[in-house]
Chain A
Amino acid sequence: MYNLVEVEKLGKPAVALCNVGFAADARSAAMVKGYPALRVVLERVPCEATDGESIERGVVEAIGEVIRALTVPLQEEEWEEAVGRMAAWRPGEARGVVYRGNYEEVNRYFYRMGWTDGLPIVPPTPRAVEEMLRGTDLEPDHVVAHLPPRMGKATVEKIAVNAVMAGALPTHLPVIIAAVEALVDPSAWYGTYQVSTGSWAPFVVVNGPVRRDVGLNCSSGALSPGNMANAAIGRAIRLVDRNIGGVRPGIEDMGVFGNPGKYTLVLGENEEESPWEPLHVEQGFGREESAVSVFFPNTYVQAVAMGTDPESLVLTLARNVPAGKRNALTAILMIPDHARILAQAGWSKQEVVRRVVEVARIPRYRSPYMPPERAEGLSPRELPQREEDWMPAWTDPAQIRLVVTGGPGSFMALWISSGLMPARWVTKRVRLPKAWGRLVVRYRGIVPRHTG
């Protein structure tokens, strides 16, 4: 849509021939760019149809409207309706208290406004937000970023409001702010992944001393519910995405199935039990710094190791890449026991990744998303029999990062993104307030005992 807006800006008529399921998304995109009346003609061709009959039927039905959209001048009522729609949609910055009520009433109000993730929130009272702001030395009106698609202004205060709602502690705030900075780095391709049909979720790895300061789970069940830091930091990121970026499910966020990782997908690297340098050091930061790394996967694969010798561990990872994933940004999650076995073989993190890349193959099935082999692909009706019918799953080891985390057991795991975007892992430093030590002491005792 943005490219069609560019056509209008150049003074030429543009028409979006739009799949009917994407009508609200298309209109939202046009409004973001200030062209609410950009003409959208709806067609009913099934998404990514491969049969000529449905394409023929859909286009023939729509062509009259396309011609009309290019030839009939903008009507007064059409313009008024478009401007009204934009005015109704555009949220002003609500300052001060916006609602008064008891716990239940506040939650129902926020839920009806679409400001939650479906679960009850902690009411963001001025006092709670003030306490949250102790987690940073940045001024409350400091603008951390403008978040797409609505280009909402992510001030420190607005991030803090969403952090309170998520149930975060003030010690979590600097991690959340760093994550927001990582999201908007152009290399992350946040603006595309947050709205895509692919249901990509921000995967957040926290490194450095801050992990232990805030009680992040870096070991057994790091991605499971039950730990406040892992749960609340990711939840806050999602609420920021919704309330500041303006991403609404089924309107801007067109994820086909959605992704439970959008509730939270945050873990720490188990640096203490890893034989290798941590992720943030690989990304150019000092070991004593704290940092947040982000990318957008939509696929999670877990597999039991085929054996505990180094070759079997590499083969387990290489043989469990889904056939539809090609050159995708990836996180390998590895338990400390497996990492030690590989390190004892003399392999660095990078050497392990290089060996996985060397071995991993996927079928050269015909797929529109597997350039440049798309034209010569095999039919997925057949299992490939010949060596040349397989192709490397990755061509560049830089697309993969290995993170040591998780607990006892024998499972290996892959979080896999897409090869369609030129995205990269993005890492940002966590900036702690001067009074960090006191803040940590104040909140460190809030940990689950799991005695019940």
Chain B
Amino acid sequence: MAVSTTEANREFLQVSEEELQRFRSIPVRGEQARRSMGQILGRTWFWILILFILLYTLFPFYWAVVSSFKSSNELVKTPPTFWPTEPTLENYRNVFTDGGFMRALLNSTIVSTSVVIVSLVVGTLTAYAMARLNFRGRRFFMYLILSMTMFPGIAIIGSLFQIMKRFNAFDTLWGLIVVYLTFALPFTVWVLSNFFRAMPPDLEEAARVDGATQMQALRQVLIPLAIPGMVTTGLLAFIEAWSEFLYARTFTISEKAKTVQIAIADFTGNTQFEVPFGTRMAAAVVVTVPLLVGVLLVQRRIVSGMTAGAVKG
């Protein structure tokens, strides 16, 4: 787009060196005007495209935020207003005084945090074994772990439902935590074992020469180096657990175990006759903001991780 226009201009300039000289000797207002016109046009298209991308990615969430601050009268205005004329906290008051929603928020926090902690602790040990130890069956387990990161939950919910009933795990937070480990743990192991493998073995070997055991080398050398990677991995696992819907829909039924995703999907508000879109959007914002903050904090690592990943692709 912009590049091609610049390119065309350069070629144009190169083609006629002689002409250029001639142009230089005489006032060049016309030529310069034409060149910058072309550039401006290319640039303009480029920026329109950029603007369009920003609008596309950001507008829906912007709209949720704007709607969440509108009064119920303003929400049904046509055409819709793009900025709340009389901003109100009414919707947020509704959300935070809804006992069921607050309980769901607490449930989700407990479930996601536990899943992350267990995944990181257990996952680090398994990942270390996968990356640094020699044992039979390692290759097979690497494949198993990788496949598990893509496992379709629908293939187990029916039978797992029966099993969970039998073990009184149905409609409990601990039951949900255990089920969530089926995706969070393999994911953590997979990412962290790649992380460990990328570290130079010399560090550890030096520690081993100094008389450290393998577990000491892991604890004192590898883990401190892996902490940034563990934070990112933990955040990604948190997002997965926080956003999960199918298992939560299947394995919880009462307020004591419902997660926040179920709560907002079922959100009907206080009145029976109108769909409370404002309150719904406020709930959506409340549920999303923690994730956005986390992602923005480590975004450099997420993006650069992707870049590094495809370097040798």
Bound together: no
